[in-house]
């Protein structure tokens, strides 16, 4: 994998493989690997979530810039929890109303800042070493995933993103993003040639991001392939008061195409490949000298997928390492 400077942008589509050991002094977490490339057209399949790439009118209502239309709008639903609702609302407050000028790169970490108590965030659930733990800022990945999909269906240029290490069922497979302060960002470039306005809002159970601007495509839609390279989860027993139980889920690879349509014809297609490690079953027990961790799989969290060779012209790639990240 070719590495850009630090974790800088690609000039095309990002390859994020955050498989390096953690920062923040917390265990070895990695984000799921996601790669993108061009490939021939395939069958169209329905995706998850709610999206609109061909909206009309003034966009998200009052405050939209004159002449701007809805490029895309995406909503993610989530189970209500006080920490999640609070942290998502805080992140929404920090990104709502931003205007991204032509050529500019929007950064989630730059816009939201570090998820600390001083910045208005509270403790929530994160993923670390392949399991859930408590840490400030838990839940903001729902905002990152919503923004990623809004960018995806607006047809804007992805610069940096990484998936969760294991799959979280409420997100679209292969179309989700997580963030970690100082190690993994969600970034995209406004390559539309016109300003893009961000509108964000949340409730106790959902978050919506709408992007307003000048349309270049009649439609942008997604097609998803089947799960491949399926890996079963292991069982783990964790002792102590900080343990968070989790249910098992298989690991797998999945490919998602982004299809651009203009004048009734497909004019462009990009393929994003994502690798998810298994989500081990975690059982919590009282702390005791006899409690020992259960076995883990050979495909342990922290081992990124090897990037597939592109079928179109090779594109530069960007990389990022990841520490503890919000579970969303």
**71-85 tens-digit pLDDT:** 999 999 999 999 999
User: CA-to-CA distance for 272 and 299, rounded, in angstroms?
Assistant: 21
E strand intervals along the chain = 33-38, 69-77, 99-100, 105-107, 123-128, 131-136, 157-160, 187-189, 196-202, 206-213, 219-224, 228-231, 235-239, 251-262, 265-276, 281-285, 325-326
Whole-number pLDDT of residue 67: 81
Q: What is the mean pLDDT of the chain?
A: 76
The model carries a pTM of 0.72
- The stretch 2-8 carries a mean pLDDT of 36
User: CA-to-CA distance for 191 and 292, rounded, in angstroms?
Assistant: 52
The residue that leads in pLDDT, 22 or 197, is 197
Q: Decide if 39 contacts 257 (C-beta within 8 A).
A: yes
Q: What are residue 85's phi and psi, to 5 degrees?
A: -60, -45
Q: Decide if 47 contacts 272 (C-beta within 8 A).
A: no
Task: For helices 82-95 and 141-154, give the axis angle rounded to 10 degrees.
Answer: 40
Residue 239 makes CB contacts below 8 A (sequence gap 6+) with: 284, 285, 286, 287, 288, 291
- The stretch 302-325 carries a mean pLDDT of 36
The residue that leads in pLDDT, 22 or 135, is 135
User: CA-to-CA distance for 298 and 277, rounded, in angstroms?
Assistant: 10
Q: Decide if 45 contacts 224 (C-beta within 8 A).
A: yes
User: CA-to-CA distance for 238 and 256, rounded, in angstroms?
Assistant: 35
The residue that leads in pLDDT, 306 or 74, is 74
User: CA-to-CA distance for 39 and 191, rounded, in angstroms?
Assistant: 21
Q: Decide if 192 contacts 213 (C-beta within 8 A).
A: yes
């Amino acid at each position: 994998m070719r590495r850009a400077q630090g974790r800088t942008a690609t000039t095309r589509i990002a390859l994020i493989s955050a498989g390096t050991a953690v920062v923040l002094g917390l265990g070895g977490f990695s984000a799921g690997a996601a790669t993108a490339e061009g490939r021939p057209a395939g069958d169209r399949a329905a995706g998850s979530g709610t999206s609109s790439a061909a909206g009309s009118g003034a966009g998200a209502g009052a405050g939209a810039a004159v002449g701007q239309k809805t490029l895309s709008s995406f909503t993610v639903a989530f189970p209500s929890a006080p920490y999640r609702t609070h942290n998502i609302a805080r992140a929404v407050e920090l990104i709502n109303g931003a205007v991204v000028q032509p050529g500019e790169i929007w950064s989630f970490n730059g816009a939201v800042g570090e998820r600390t108590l001083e910045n208005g965030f509270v403790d929530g659930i994160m993923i670390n070493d392949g399991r859930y733990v408590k840490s400030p800022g838990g839940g903001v990945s729902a905002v990152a995933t919503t923004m990623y999909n809004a960018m995806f269906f607006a047809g804007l240029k992805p610069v940096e993103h990484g998936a969760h290490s294991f799959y979280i069922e409420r997100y679209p497979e292969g179309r989700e993003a997580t963030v970690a302060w100082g190690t993994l960002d969600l970034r995209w470039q406004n390559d539309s040639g016109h300003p893009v306005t961000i509108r964000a809002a949340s409730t106790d159970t959902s978050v919506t991001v709408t992007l307003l601007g000048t349309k270049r495509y009649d439609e942008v839609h997604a097609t998803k392939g089947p799960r491949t390279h399926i890996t079963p989860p292991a069982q783990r027993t964790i002792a102590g008061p900080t343990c968070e139980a989790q249910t098992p889920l298989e690991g797998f690879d999945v490919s998602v195409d982004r299809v651009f349509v203009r004048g009734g014809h497909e004019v462009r297609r990009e393929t994003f490949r994502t690798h998810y490690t298994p989500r081990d079953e975690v059982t919590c027990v009282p702390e005791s000298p006899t409690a020992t961790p259960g076995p883990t799989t050979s495909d342990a969290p922290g081992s990124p997928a090897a990037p597939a060779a592109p079928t179109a012209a090779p594109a530069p790639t960007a990389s990022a390492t990841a520490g503890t990240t919000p579970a969303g």
